[in-house]
Amino acid sequence: MHSNQLLFTNKSPEVYFIVINWNQYALTRDCLVSLQDQDYKDFQVIIVDNGSTDGSVDRLENEFDNFFYIKLPENIGYSPGNNAGIEYALSKGADYIFLLNNDTIVDRQMLSLLMRVSESSDEIGIVGPTMYFSEPQDKIWAGENVIDWKKANIIRKEMGEQQKFEILSQNPPVEVDYIDTCAILIKNNVFSHIGEMDGKYFINFDDLDLNVRSQRAGFKIVYVPAARMWHRVSSSMGFASPATTYYMTRNSLLFFWSYAPGLWKIIDVLLIFARTIRTILAWNLKPGFRNNDQFRRKSAANIFALRDFCFGRFGKMGQDVREACYPYQAPSLKI
């Protein structure tokens, strides 16, 4: 753990950013450079290195020696990695925790705008900014997010819309169902009510789990359109990679089974199973898919996801799933 701290003199609430690095020096560096330019100055930064093997954390520590570093011996996952940072930040008396993906660039005013809204009401527990794609920079990735319990869907209402910031910044804050943990500001007392992130997810849907538990504990979740950042989507596993397919399918089943109200939990699980089986069949029967190695591996990942949900196998994927997901290993499940 690095001992140096950022020093500030005023009495504003102190925010601890938590950024996870895993073999991605360039992405993490760009993120940290943008953080240094925030116009809200009462913040600390914790870099949690999730078992990198490329020397990236040493390079970062040499370059950003005023931040804290937690060096984990192996990749324990997104939610457990964040929990390591959360525990440390809370032990240091953090007023706020900001979970931030390393594949992001943040606007200079992002934190100050979010803090202004969060501090306006004790009922607000979580706030988040407009999240743009990195390319093009005016295309929205996430903002006003909704959970559709009756269709087992999560909906980013503006996703894909190109919206000039000058127009969007005039929109008032709005209460939403969830904020993606790509960039999420959380009051410290939220954790005292609900605990940390759930490590069963490893990655994906752990953010929805955190939001729903917060909301059910009585906290409001608020989206602030005027605050903004840019997200290089899925840089860690690849967009719609077999690994992403596995975690998204398995964890969607876990999430909706855990939180959908009443009989909807059964209906939602059946809906997800039906959609997944239909996708597996399409990938194996349609000529455009069945001869493509990527889709064969994604199909295998989906089958493993259904199996692991049924048998209660959560957390980090097992060895058989890894062999199916990654191209340098022979898949153990032939489709």
Query: Average pLDDT of the chain?
Result: 91
pLDDT (average), residues 174-194: 97
pLDDT digits (tens, 9 = 90+) for 211-246: 999 999 999 999 999 999 999 875 444 457 899 999
Q: Which amino acid is at 1?
A: M
Token match 């570093």: residue?
69
pLDDT digits (tens, 9 = 90+) for 82-135: 999 999 999 999 999 999 999 999 999 999 999 999 999 999 999 999 999 988
How many angstroms separate the CA atoms of 191 and 179, rounded? 16
Residues 6+ apart with CB under 8 A from 124: 117, 118, 187, 219, 220, 221, 222
Question: Does pLDDT of 2 surpass 70?
Answer: no
How many angstroms separate the CA atoms of 317 and 132, rounded? 30
pLDDT digits (tens, 9 = 90+) for 131-166: 999 888 889 999 999 999 999 999 999 888 887 788
Residues 6+ apart with CB under 8 A from 81: 20, 48, 50, 72, 75
How many angstroms separate the CA atoms of 236 and 233, rounded? 9
CB contact at 8 A, 154 and 211? no
Q: What is the pTM of this model?
A: 0.89
Question: In the chain, what are the domain boundaries?
Answer: 15-231, 242-325
pLDDT (average), residues 285-305: 91
Residue 330: the pLDDT is 40
How many angstroms separate the CA atoms of 100 and 30, rounded? 13
Question: Does pLDDT of 328 surpass 60?
Answer: no
> 155 pairs with which residues across the strands?
146
Token match 């943008």: residue?
34
Phi, psi of 154 (to 5 degrees): -110, 135
Q: Tell me the CATH class for 15-231.
A: alpha beta
Helix, coil or strand: residue 184: strand
How many angstroms separate the CA atoms of 54 and 70, rounded? 16
